[in-house]
Structure 1
Amino acid sequence: MLQSIKNGINLKKEVIAGITSFFAISYILIVNPMILKDAGMSIEITFFATAFSSFIGCLIMAFWGDSPITLTPGMGVNAFFTYTLVGSMGLTWQQALTVSLFSGIVYAIVAFTPLSEILSNDIPDNLKRGITVGIGLFLVELGMEKAEIIKSGGSHSLLAFGSITNTSTLVAFLGILICLFLMMKKIPGDFLIGIIITTIIAKVFGVSGSASSTVSIKDIGVFAHSLLQFDFSSFFSAKFIIAIFSMSMILIFESMGLLQGLLEDTKRFKKSFQASSITAILSSGLSTSPTVAAAESASGIQSGGRTGITALVTGILFGISIIAAPLIALIPQAAISPVIIITGAIMMKELSSIDMRELDDWIPAFLIVTLIPLTGSISTGLQFGFISYPLVKFFAKKREDINPVILIVSGLFLINLILSAII
């Protein structure tokens, strides 16, 4: 970052970009605790964990990565933490934090060794993009369920439409329209403003807040005593190893795809990737799901952000945001779900970059995209997508597209799938 200052960058643009990035992603302070609440974690703990991990992550990105990238607990990764590790696999949230810790360590090993370049070059782009799209579609489904726009179809269908007469659903639809309007007008802080307006509307209609308790700045003491909440009791179990492998793959490939898509200067990728991995490790100790590069960093980049100064400004604002803690209890699910839905839709834009012209390219990505939301498991989508890739290429007689790296990764996913079935 110091070198960037010496090179005479436009400081005003960098500061404006940092402020823009913060307002674009600030909704994570509300949304992440709400998702982790479903894992049994305290709202009080996860609010401060989200703010502190974002603050620290942005500082690391500023001084080590020197990139205009915001690091926050990732949408999609937090869903995997809550709904796959805790919900489907039956881990406690303390065990899930331990999984996050070791997944972050695996991520760091890749980031600080030549493995990062090898994976970046040899893993097909269609698979990496398929992960982003699949997670996006999963978030859309999750947001619609929270808004009660869709519900279980019972014996008639897998899913069914809710009811437009349901007050929460009606408020959520209004929230989607408000957020979309603000986005189309390119108003800074569109999501945060949308959440605030929708919350006011929800209060008028009598829709209650999501939190069961009021978060106060005084609760920072509770947060201080919640650090390093690891549980190693299942460390040597097959389920634990499977969980670490699955989350590691998500962190590595989602982060790789996001950074490659966001950074205009490819020379900054290596250190930015490393900064992201360090923060992912630290976030587990802070009692939140892993941090990743936020797609919303694009708003700051579009505003002129080019260096770590942008990330520094964003990080400082995350630090200041801790005083907004009491507001967390006022936000209803109906105000949060529009942001989850639209974030998913934005991630799904990567679908346009996936080559669908050849079935041997499209089918593996298709399996990732569809199986993640349909099974409610990000790891399941990854397994079948990566396992199918070399098989489909072999059937299509395109063996030149099968490199040793994809064979090894696909083999690991196959082992992971078999172990998942027998434990």
Structure 2
Amino acid sequence: MNSKVWRNSVGLEPGDSWKRELSAGILSYFASVYIVMVNAAILHDAGMPLRAGMVATLLTAVAGCLMMAFGGKTPIVVVPGMGINAFFTYTLVHSMKLDWREALAVVVVTGVLFAIVAFTSLYRILSDAIPHNLQHAITVGIGLFLTFIGLQKSGIVIAHRTTFVAIGHFSDPAVITSCVTLILALVLFVRGTRGGLLISMLAGTGMAYLLGAAHAPENADSGHVFAGYSDVFAGMDWGRGISLVFWIAVFLLLLIVVFENIGLISSQTLMAG
């Protein structure tokens, strides 16, 4: 769409579009920058070096956003998914007993198969075959899963031997900070406050420092930022490529990726009108 026509269609003055783009970009950055640490921490639980996981997350996010900006010309931030990384670590590695390098090989095969689905008519066939209610349910399910991960990482819920999940310790400053930040974000969202997510994140960060919930890493790694990344880049292990568990993992991951993307695209296009 021509930029002038787009501005007129949404009621923007000629000088407003770049201001909106700039503010949206800043907000998107703060809304997604947490992924660098969270994604790396989840991958670290699988045995991957923490710094290498951070570098991989950054490079993937930069590549995804640039491809969407100059290739897709669509204002959608593309970063590593917070559901797939949990499946990678806690299902493929911990439950199915794959080494993280073998799980990377699963990801490569899944990526190739997903590309075949995405760039052929298979994607349209699958998308049309799924009812719209189920597509919305997929989006809600992903949101609930990410919510649970956030509650677990913040300490609001903790593991329990009998009930599996229990309420955390509300005397912990980190839990207090997380609860207050979550409530503030919900209130601002319901009230329709512009920049409410950014406001809640800034308020939560300030409160974390005031209550002592923010801690600097005790043993910070030294050396170049790319130190150790060579062990992760193209570090796939194909030793179990012909095993049954490998292809079961590929099938499960492909199923999740396809259905997750159908649900996410449905919700994104619905929100964008």
> Residue 196 of structure 1 aligns with which residue?
205
2:83·2:146 contact (CA, 8 Å) conserved in 1?
yes
> Residue 81 of structure 1 aligns with which residue?
88
Instruction: Give the distance between the partners of 1:100 and 1:43, measured in 2 at CA.
Output: 19
> Residue 186 of structure 1 aligns with which residue?
194
Amino acid at match of 1:80: F
Instruction: Give the distance between the partners of 2:113 and 2:183, measured in 1 at CA.
Output: 41
> Per-residue deviation at 1:59?
1.3
> Per-residue deviation at 1:256?
1.8
- Report matched runs for 1:222-261 at 5 Å: 222-224=228-230, 226-261=232-267
Which has the larger helix fraction?
Answer: 1
Instruction: Give the distance between the partners of 1:90 and 1:137, measured in 2 at CA.
Output: 26
1:170 paired with 2:176, answer yes
C-alpha distance 63-233 of structure 1, shift in aligned 2 (>3 A) = same
> Per-residue deviation at 1:20?
3.1
Unaligned runs of 5+ in 1: 265-297, 303-423
Unaligned runs of 5+ in 2: 8-16
1:125 paired with 2:132, answer yes
C-alpha distance 228-35 of structure 1, shift in aligned 2 (>3 A) = same
2:159·2:165 contact (CA, 8 Å) conserved in 1?
yes
1:55 paired with 2:62, answer yes
- Report matched runs for 1:267-416 at 5 Å: none
Count of matched residue pairs: 260
> Per-residue deviation at 1:44?
0.7
Instruction: Give the distance between the partners of 1:217 and 1:232, measured in 2 at CA.
Output: 30
Aligned counterpart in structure 1 of residue 151 of structure 2, from 144, 169, 190: 144
Give me the CA root mean square deviation: 2.9
Q: Comparing both chains, which one has the higher relative contact order based on Cα–Cα distances under 8 Å and sequence gaps of 6 or more? A: 1
1:151·1:160 contact (CA, 8 Å) conserved in 2?
yes
Aligned counterpart in structure 2 of residue 29 of structure 1, from 26, 33, 36: 36
Q: Bigger shift: 37-46 or 68-77?
A: 37-46
Q: Deviations over 1:348-394 (max 9, x none)?
A: xxxxxxxxxxxxxxxxxxxxxxxxxxxxxxxxxxxxxxxxxxxxxxx
> Residue 52 of structure 2 aligns with which residue?
45
> Residue 161 of structure 1 aligns with which residue?
167
> What secondary structure does 1:160 align onto?
strand
C-alpha distance 186-37 of structure 1, shift in aligned 2 (>3 A) = farther
Aligned counterpart in structure 1 of residue 115 of structure 2, from 97, 103, 108: 108
TM-score, normalised to structure 1, is 0.54
Instruction: Give the distance between the partners of 2:136 and 2:221, measured in 1 at CA.
Output: 37
Instruction: Give the distance between the partners of 1:16 and 1:232, measured in 2 at CA.
Output: 45
Q: Bigger shift: 84-93 or 16-25?
A: 16-25
Instruction: Give the distance between the partners of 1:181 and 1:220, measured in 2 at CA.
Output: 41
> Residue 400 of structure 1 aligns with which residue?
none
2:136·2:266 contact (CA, 8 Å) conserved in 1?
no
> What secondary structure does 1:189 align onto?
helix
Q: Deviations over 1:222-277 (max 9, x none)?
A: 3255311111111111111111111111111111221222136xxxxxxxxxxxxx
Amino acid at match of 1:149: I
> What secondary structure does 1:73 align onto?
coil
Amino acid at match of 2:171: T
> What secondary structure does 2:79 align onto?
strand
Amino acid at match of 1:87: H
1:61·1:67 contact (CA, 8 Å) conserved in 2?
yes
Identity of aligned residues (%): 35
Instruction: Give the distance between the partners of 1:19 and 1:167, measured in 2 at CA.
Output: 28
C-alpha distance 218-244 of structure 1, shift in aligned 2 (>3 A) = same
2:177·2:204 contact (CA, 8 Å) conserved in 1?
no
Q: Deviations over 1:82-140 (max 9, x none)?
A: 11111211112111211111111111000111101101101223333333323322333
1:100·1:244 contact (CA, 8 Å) conserved in 2?
yes
Instruction: Give the distance between the partners of 2:133 and 2:234, measured in 1 at CA.
Output: 37
Amino acid at match of 2:206: I
